[in-house]
Amino acid sequence: MTNTADTKFWAVVPAAGVGSRMRADLPKQYLPLRDRTVIEHTLHRLSLISELSGIVVAVAENDPWWHKLHIDIAKPIIVAKGGAERCHTVQNALAALNGKAQDNDWVLVHDAARPCVQPGDLHTLIRTLSAHPTGGLLGVPVRDTMKRTDTDNQIQATVDRNHLWHALTPQMFRFGMLQQALQKALDDEVLVTDEASAMEYAGYQPIMVEGCGDNIKITRPEDLALAGFYIDHQTTQGLLGYRDGMDDGG
């Protein structure tokens, strides 16, 4: 993998959301999924990146669930306070790295509710972007026919799906550049929905790195069962191992 002695990699996991669409009694990141909670699966996947110096988890200020978990991973975890929206939460997490991370370090921001990301995709993202001036994110090309509607759900146009992508995470950017881009959006009162949007607003052009479609975000009740299916499949297919220099998707 491309890396230099003075460049570090950090992960940021925004986990302050309540997940109202799950219609559950607790936030989706704390729901049980096989033998762990969703966020425990997510942190375990990230911990398989040997280059990571640490993981920042940003949780809601009065979160009663986080401290009940028994996280057993071989990476340092820093806990930060969540914010009103994702952009505020990620910025708080980056602030927790001040004094630890250098401007040139890489930060991989990954959704707490994406427990199925494959180690091979994490490897590909780091290898692809380590020498890139801006950074980018995992995604999958759009395959379905796309429709644009009005406020009454009446179709206004069929959108050309060529060059359209579903944005996934992790989203990987330089620590200093991302912090400045998010601050610019916040100062301008532009509510960006992901880190790539903040970088785009600041004038950068992130690139898409194709990943696997099983890197789903748990949003609705049916997603939990689908995530369990993917985890079982990945386990039986031997897709969860990680080693430096392995082949893509290995």
* All structural domains of the chain with their residue ranges: 9-236
**1 has pLDDT over 60:** no
CA distances 30 to 18, 125, 168, Å, are 10, 27, 20
The rounded distance, in Å, linking the Cα atoms of 9 and 3 is 9
What is the rounded average pLDDT for all residues in the chain? 92
* DSSP, res 5: T
**249 has pLDDT over 90:** no
Closest C-alpha among 58, 41, 91, 52 to residue 75: 52
* DSSP, res 31: S
Q: Mean per-residue pLDDT for 196-204?
A: 98
The rounded distance, in Å, linking the Cα atoms of 55 and 57 is 6
Per-residue pLDDT band for 19 (boundaries 50, 70, 90) equals: low
So what's the pLDDT on residue 23? 65
Pick the CATH number of 9-236 from 3.20.20.150, 3.30.360.10, 3.90.550.10, 3.40.50.300: 3.90.550.10
Structure-model confidence comparison of residues 12 and 19, the more confident one: 12
What angle, rounded to 10 degrees, do the helices at 38-47 and 221-236 form? 40
So what's the pLDDT on residue 123? 96
Which three-class secondary structure state does DSSP give residue 195?
helix
How many residues are given for the chain?
A: 250
Q: Mean per-residue pLDDT for 104-110?
A: 98
